[in-house]
Every structure is written in C-alpha cells, then in structure tokens.
Structure 1
C-alpha cells in the first residue's frame, strides 16, 4: 500500500514537472516593472557632493573645533581629508552605515572613555547625515574608534 502511494505521488510530481517545462517562457503573467532594491548605504549616487561638517568638543588633545570634510575629491579643512574619506569608503564598501547609531538593546561594557563629543552633519553619498558621538560606554567608544580618522583618535 505504501509503495503504491509513493509511486502515485512520484508519477504526479513527474507529470507536473513535465507540464511546467512545456509552458513557453513568454507565457508568464506580467506583473509590471520590477523594483530594484535601493543601493546599500555608501553606494554613491553620483560623483562628488559629499560634504560633512565635523564638530569635536572636550577632546583634551587639541582636536576641538569644527572642520569641513569633502570627499570626491578629498578636501576641506579636516586635518587629513584623504584618510578620512578612505575610511568612510572602506566602511561603506563593507556595506556598513558609517553613521549608524548603536543598535537598541545592545549590551555594552560599563566604561567611560572621556568627555569628548562629536557631531557630524552634512551629506554622504546622497544621504543626509546627522550623527552624534560620545565616549560614555564600550559600544559608543567602539563606534567612535571605528570612525577614526574622520573623528580624532582619543586616549583609551
């Protein structure tokens, strides 16, 4: 009995596959234009146009102040625009949003990295940026360090 059911199902599956194979490719239902997913963060929308304002306070290492960073080509009043733009490109190339906040619910070590704060605003690869950085726990310290040299290196 079991063998008979199995044979019937196998024949039905084979017949269905043969019927589908016989349908011409042009006989599909037209559902309209296919929407492509948006490009990953960091995929440039066009050349140039990347402009960020980086403001640092209470760094304790002489890096306080407001600097302009332009990428594509690198320039502005940033202390090392080439390295900063390269770092942003590296993060974006890995599919990361360089300006993403620490995800909610993250478990972070309870440590204090100092009073330094930073605020980055502007446009990066066609998207508005408004990100704040601080050194109040392990996650925020890692987030800051990931963005060096866009942000200045701080003492541990």
Structure 2
C-alpha cells in the first residue's frame, strides 16, 4: 500500500535531510553483513541499534539532535543509553507503545519531530511523530529521545 505525501507533510529543511541521510547510511553500513566494518574482529554487534533524531519542525535553523542507541549491550552515542534501552525493552522496541509519564509541560508551541530508524532484536524499526514541544516529547517517550 503506497502512501501519498502532501506538500505540508514535508517539514524537514534540506540541510537536515543531508545530515540524517549521512547518519542513516553510516549506520546501515555498520549493520550490513559482509562489509569491512562488520567483518572487523570486534565485540559482537547488537541486533538492536537505532539512529535517533529530534528535529525542530519550525525551520528555525536549529540543527537536529542526533544519537545512536545500541541495546544488549547498551551503548552508542546516546547520553543515557541504559535507561533508554530499558524503556524500549519494556515495550519490546515499540516506541509508539511507550506510556506517557504525564507531568506538567508549558503550553508553549515549539514543535519537534522525533525520528527513529534501525533494528530492534533484528526487526526493522521506523518511527516518526511530531510533538508540540520537547517537554511533551520527553514525557511521551521516556529516555529514548533524551539526548
């Protein structure tokens, strides 16, 4: 089933797309079997690796925040990898199923889009959702996008 995209859905500035594409292609190269990076004698690669991004939806020129998250063993560039992996383990890698912690956020409208792509226990993950501000994002996704 194909999905039609409307002009108003494309809200990522072109320079952000380049940064995301580079990050995703680097991660894909590291995950692909048979590549020199995969063949190097290092610790076993995690089959739960995600590239995470938080993008301002208002084209404000603020650069996207990017991180990699590896689980089992926990690591990557994510600042709180252990707790982010614990959050994902609690929902079997389904970011949309994370429980909203509630809490108080301002009603300030500064939308951010959260994007995740990669693998969870060997299964593909693709997530994208826009939140009214960073506080709402963090309450909805726990530590996953807190980097």
**TM-score normalized with structure 1 length:** 0.46
**TM-score normalized with structure 2 length:** 0.49
Q: Which entry has the higher C-alpha Rg, 1 or 2?
A: 1
